[in-house]
């Protein structure tokens, strides 16, 4: 999964909205004849769409992101079919540990390295 920063998306929307506003502002400064000949409905639409988009993005919940600790499954010499989490020391069966990418007890990420003997 990847994450994006709300501020970055909003900044981009603000930029696009500004492009529309600039066109509309310039258009408003012209004569009525000019205005009738030049259609700026696309620029108005861009302003409205970006304004709505910014409101939508601002309403999205902010994820609380916690980084999992790193861990490894460690073989226990005395217990032949068990191993433990290097982070919290919880014991799991050796067979189960092969399928677990995260420690079920502390959430440590076990994907980076192999098991320790």
Give the residue with the Cβ less far from Zn ion, 87 or 97.
87
In the bound state with Zn ion, the residue whose beta carbon lies nearer, of 57 and 107, is 107
CB of 109 to Zn ion, least distance (A): 10
User: Residue 46 or residue 87: which is nearer to Zn ion going by CB?
Assistant: 87
Q: How many other β-carbons are positioned within 10 Å of the β-carbon of residue 32?
A: 7
Q: Which stretches of the chain bind Zn ion, using CB under 5 A?
A: 85, 87-88, 90, 103, 105-106, 108
For the CB of residue 55, give the shortest distance to Zn ion in the complex, in Å: 42
Select from 50, 42, 102, 46 the least CA-distant residue to 72.
102
CB of 107: closest distance to Zn ion in angstroms? Answer: 7
Residue 45 DSSP label: H
């Amino acid at each position: 999964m990847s994450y994006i920063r709300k501020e970055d998306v909003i900044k981009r929307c603000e930029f696009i909205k500004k492009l529309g506003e600039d066109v509309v502002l310039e258009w408003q400064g012209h004569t009525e004849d000019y205005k009738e000949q030049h259609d700026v409905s696309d620029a108005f639409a861009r302003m409205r769409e970006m304004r709505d988009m910014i409101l939508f993005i601002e309403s999205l919940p902010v994820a609380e992101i916690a980084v999992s600790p790193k861990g490894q499954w460690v073989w226990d010499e005395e217990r032949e079919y068990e191993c433990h989490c290097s982070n919290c020391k919880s014991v799991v069966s050796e067979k189960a540990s092969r399928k677990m990418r995260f420690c079920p007890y502390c959430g440590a990420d076990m994907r980076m390295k192999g098991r320790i003997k």
